[in-house]
Amino acid sequence: MIFRQVEADDLYTIIDLEYQNFDFPYPPEIINFLYESYRNTFLVVEKDRDIIGFVIGITQKKEGHILVIAVRDDFKRKGIGTVLMKKLINVYEKNGITRLKLEVRESNVAAISMYRKLGFKINNKLKHYYEDGEDGLLLRRG
């Protein structure tokens, strides 16, 4: 398995993974914009030449904001999401950024559990944060 920065050829598969994993996926234009603007903090994991997971972060006001992470269904629960997050945290730290935040659906127990194990703490509840009215949680680390 190779963990690396995103490349242009990866984007089709990433857009597919978005649609497979989310009811309200980021549209391709946004994924392209994130690729153009935040490539340093856009990481993928490749296995046998397939992209099987990715994570996208951005940086605003010296704070890292993790926008999305997804792992292909047949590779879930094997520690890959955790490694992707650790690699991203490492990139941020190398750039002197230690304060991180992210939002997550309140119902997403898998992701919340992973984030807590990585040192994120629930900071706030975000009422009706998502398109379908579900509440979100704001998590912070550092």
Ligand X SMILES: CC(C)(COP(=O)(O)OP(=O)(O)OC[C@H]1O[C@@H](n2cnc3c(N)ncnc32)[C@H](O)[C@@H]1OP(=O)(O)O)[C@@H](O)C(=O)NCCC(=O)NCCS
- Give the Cα separation of 118 and 102 in Å (integer): 12
Contact assessment for residue 53 and residue 68, using Cβ atoms and an 8 Å cutoff: no
Q: Which is nearer to ligand X, 45 or 91 (CB)?
A: 45
Site for ligand X in 62-91 (CB under 6 A): 68-71, 76-82
DSSP 96: T
Q: Which is nearer to ligand X, 91 or 115 (CB)?
A: 115
Give the type of residue at 12: Y
Site for ligand X contains 56 (CB under 6 A)? no
Shortest distance, position 104 Cβ to ligand X, whole Å: 5
Instruction: Mention every residue, 6+ apart, whose C-beta is less than 8 A from residue 67.
Output: 26, 34, 56, 57, 58, 102
Site for ligand X contains 21 (CB under 6 A)? yes
| Contact mark string toward ligand X, 87..126, x via CB under 6 A | -----------------x---xxxx-xx--x---------
The three-class DSSP label of residue 7 is coil
Number of chain residues interacting with ligand X (CB under 6 A): 20
Report the residue count for the chain. 142
Q: Which residues bind ligand X (CB under 6 A)?
A: 21, 68-71, 76-82, 104, 108-111, 113-114, 117
